[in-house]
Amino acid sequence: MKNTKRHSYFTSVVLVCLIAFTSCKVTSQEPAKKEIVISKSLKWSDKMALTLMKRHPEAYMIDDSKKPKWDYVHALVLHSIEELYKKNPDSRYKTYIRGYVDELVQNDGTIKTYELDKYNIDLVVPGRLLFNIYAESKEEKYLKAMQLVRKQISEQPRTQSGGFWHKKIYPNQMWLDGLYMGEPFYAQYTLTFENGDKFDDIAKQFEVIQSHATDPKTGLLYHAWDESKQMPWANKETGNSPNFWSRALGWYVMALVDVLDYMPKDHPKQKELVKYLNNASAALAKYQDKSGLWYQVTDKGNKEGNYLEASGSSMFAYAFAKGAKKGYLPASYKKLANKAFDGLTKKLIKVDADGGITLTQACQVAGLGGTPYRDGSYEYYVNEKKKDNDPKATGPFILAALELNR
């Protein structure tokens, strides 16, 4: 009996030691992440990126997501951090992006949560994160994942005039959002892997929406266009939705400046896209508020319920600054971009106790049709929920800060 007790005691001690040793070993291999410190001296671009990383320790947590998912909002923020890394090669930025991609891209090149057969053009955006990772690592899984996203573009349903449907569940509809969702990836892919073979098709997407969704009176583009004119929100003569939404216009001008990064200057369609950018930017400039910002419903000013909105204002600041820097827009647009950025930092930014920053007055989401039904009315847009540090605002805020070196 005594021997049995002694043996039991000895076994327990050994087990405790083993557990302690194992714990020490794991700890030494996987050190705890250092707390992120956000100093006052940092540029706005770094302040926002580090704030988001502190609030969302893993990138899939952006937008308060509970599980990893292949999604455009994560990709928008991570693309902005990728651009930030080019100017400030802080290894934390690279690790943050890579963690998101590696959580979702599998060894065989398939992508967790990605459903190609839904033909949701929003889900093309995260493909942009794969180019640099593949170029550096040469791991085939990233190439296969890019090819999978490219397959969606090849199969994406189209309007009779050749424009991509926004989603399979939205037949015959093009939304301004979709130009940003699909075309920058498409442009980078065709330049990188197809000798630029598809630039005409990319230009076609802008041509279709420009010709159908532009309002001849204001020069602004409506949020969406239904080629069939069957949707209840669609104008029975034009097929357009009834209002101008600043974020939709922001997606559009961001799409133009980003696609132009890849389209050669001597390409026959390049000047056409530059013209579209100039036309849209000139129209937008007329509606810039004295604060430097733009309203949620772009042309309705301080009508009851309308408000100065963060995401559209950040997107316009980015597109104007980049357009001016690249020579697509007159140099005067840099001044407008700085005015917009001043408006964002002075009117919509709150500094938190830990030095982090919060961008307020961002529309959380807006769309058309669907369930519950969204009618595109003025009342609809101004009554959609707002969300602080919404990724559709924070990503473009970082991009604008980078272009303006702020």
- Asked whether the predicted pLDDT for residue 27 surpasses 50, the reply is no
Mean pLDDT of the region 139-159? 98
Whole-number Å distance between alpha carbons of 93 and 147: 25
Instruction: Tell me the pLDDT tens digit for each residue of 331-367.
Output: 999 999 999 999 999 999 999 999 999 999 999 999 9
Mean pLDDT (whole number) for 154-172 = 98
Residue 178: pLDDT over 70: yes
pLDDT bin (cut points 50, 70, 90) of residue 168 is very high
User: Is 200 one of the catalytic residues?
Assistant: no
Q: Say how many CA atoms lie within 13 Å of 302 toward its Cβ.
A: 4
Kindly report the backbone phi and psi dihedral angles of residue 173, in degrees, each rounded to the nearest multiple of 5, phi listed first. Answer: -110, 135
Q: Are 74 and 59 in contact (CB under 8 A)?
A: yes
Q: pLDDT tens digits for 219-269?
A: 999 999 999 999 999 999 999 999 999 999 999 999 999 999 999 999 999
CA nearest to 400, candidates 367, 363, 359, 350:
359
First and final CA of the chain: distance in angstroms? Answer: 77
| Omega before 372 within 30 of 0, i.e. cis | yes
pLDDT confidence of residue 21 = 42
| Average pLDDT value for residue range 169-191 | 98
- Residue with tokens 């532009």, as numbered in its chain: 214
**pTM score of the predicted model:** 0.92
Q: 369 and 318 in contact (C-beta within 8 Å)? A: no
Name the band, by pLDDT with cuts 50, 70 and 90, for residue 2: very low
Do residues 49 and 81 touch, judged by C-beta distance below 8 A? yes
- Average confidence (pLDDT) over 9-20: 46
**CB 37, CB 47: distance < 8 Å:** no
Query: Residue 34: what pLDDT?
Result: 81
Question: 């669609």: which residue's tokens?
Answer: 234
pLDDT in tens, 71-88: 999 999 999 999 999 999
**Distance from C-alpha of 256 to C-alpha of 313, rounded to nearest angstrom:** 16
Residue 295 token pair: 């309203």
Report d(CA 144, CA 184) in Å as an integer: 19
Query: Does the pLDDT of residue 401 top 80, yes or no?
Result: yes
Q: Residue 158, exposed/middle/buried by CB under 10 A (0-12, 13-18, 19+)?
A: middle
pLDDT band at 32 (very low <50, low <70, confident <90, very high): low
Lowest mean pLDDT among 6-10, 164-168, 399-403: 6-10
Average pLDDT for residues 162-186, to the nearest whole number?
Answer: 98
For residues 12 and 303, the model is more confident at: 303
Phi, psi of 84 (to 5 degrees): -65, -40
What confidence tens digit (pLDDT) does each residue in 286-338 have? Answer: 999 999 999 999 999 999 999 999 999 999 999 999 999 999 999 999 999 99
Quote the pLDDT of residue 22.
Answer: 44
**Residues 343, 392 contacting (CB under 8 angstroms):** no
Predicted pLDDT of residue 25: 39
Instruction: Please name which of 332, 333, 329, 292 lies closest in space to residue 310, comparing C-alpha atoms.
Output: 292
b/e burial code for range 282-305 (CB count within 10 A of at least 16 → b): ebbeebbbebbbbbbbbbbeeeee
* Active-site hit among 177, 226, 258, 390: 177
Distance of CA 299 to the CA centre of its chain: 24
Distance CA 126, CA 142 (A): 12
pLDDT tens digits, 36-51: 999 999 999 999 999 9
pLDDT tier, 189 (very low <50, low <70, confident <90, very high otherwise):
very high
pLDDT at 103: 98
Measured between alpha carbons, how far is 65 from 73 in angstroms, rounded to an integer?
Answer: 10
Residues whose CB falls within 8 Å of the CB of residue 125, separated by 6 or more in sequence, listed in order: 72, 75, 76, 79, 180, 181, 184, 185
Q: Look up residue 258 and give its two tokens.
A: 């980003």
Q: What is the mean pLDDT of the chain?
A: 94
